[in-house]
Amino acid sequence: MSDIALTAVEYERVFAVLDRCDSVRTVTEFRDVIVEAIPAAFPIRHASCFVGDTFESQFTDRNATVTAAGSGSGSWETIKANYQEHWARHDVFNLPQARQQLQSTRVASLSELGGLPKPAAVYVHEYLHPHQMHSITAMHLDLAAGGHALIGLFDPDKDAIRPKDLLALRLLARQLSILTRGLQTLPGLDLFAKLTARQREVATLVADGRSNASIAGQLNLTQDTVKKYVSRILAATGCASRTELAIDVRRQSF
């Protein structure tokens, strides 16, 4: 694409998205804003935002957001559940060639990936296409503490994103990563989503400085059960101690 030059239209699209994101301060805010901002500026209908502590964990993010236009009548929750249960491990953007492209230029499109292994090809034809996702592009962004964000861009028209749009998206991604690296976040950003409701209760009480005996009394549990809950919470969140867990809980509201 070295011979392609951006026009004022593409620059305006980039600036429009950056303006929408300028006031966000947290990853949660960014999720909500970016899935509306890119479709409003670029010629694609839907966007999603997945976040993870590692590149691979993004694809199992159960808090992923999507454009409101694509989530009517609760359909997004059904589509997302189907993706998480059956298709996440076959996502084309988790392929080595896609990951290399995303890490080198921050933007990759399905049309650039060439031949796909059978599981990924099945994912495209049996999951994406039936949901009217024919133009398929992804944007990779850096978060604080080594985290990652993956923005998916989808449209029924397979030619919705032109070469100039890809170039503009790569420019946008470079600028957005400067912003996203400074957003309020922490290691284990989305790991709390893996906790059960009861585990979240226990984690909140640990953050309040309560002992196992005190937690057991309040929740009508045995101390041994509370001890097991705390051990499982530490394992799920990656926290090394109750103190680290308490700090992380206070920094992130459930």
Whether pLDDT at 55 is above 50: yes
**13 close to 167: Cβ distance less than 8 angstroms:** no
**Inside any domain, residue 3:** no
**Inside any domain, residue 52:** yes
Same domain, 33 and 149: yes
Provide the pLDDT for residue 234: 85
Whether pLDDT at 194 is above 80: no
Q: Which of 57, 22, 29 is nearest to 146 (CA)?
A: 57
Express each pLDDT in 65-77 by its tens digit.
Answer: 888 644 444 467 7
Question: What would the mean pLDDT of 111-133 be, rounded to a whole number?
Answer: 91
Provide the pLDDT for residue 193: 67
CATH number for the domain spanning 216: value is 1.10.10.10
Which residues in the chain belong to E strands, given as ranges? 46-52, 65-66, 107-109, 135-142, 148-155
**Inside any domain, residue 186:** no
Same domain, 154 and 214: no
- pLDDT > 90: percent of the chain: 56
* This prediction's pTM: 0.71
Same domain, 159 and 203: no
The total domain count for the chain is 2
Same domain, 166 and 220: no
Provide the pLDDT for residue 68: 61
Question: What would the mean pLDDT of 12-22 be, rounded to a whole number?
Answer: 96
Whether pLDDT at 187 is above 70: no
**Inside any domain, residue 2:** no
Residue 74 has what DSSP assignment? Answer: G
**Inside any domain, residue 150:** yes
Residue 95, domain extent: 8-180
**Inside any domain, residue 50:** yes
Q: Compute the mean pLDDT over every residue in the chain, rounded to the nearest whole number.
A: 87
Whether pLDDT at 168 is above 70: yes
The residue type at 41: A
Same domain, 138 and 223: no
* In the block, residue with structure tokens 């006031």: 23
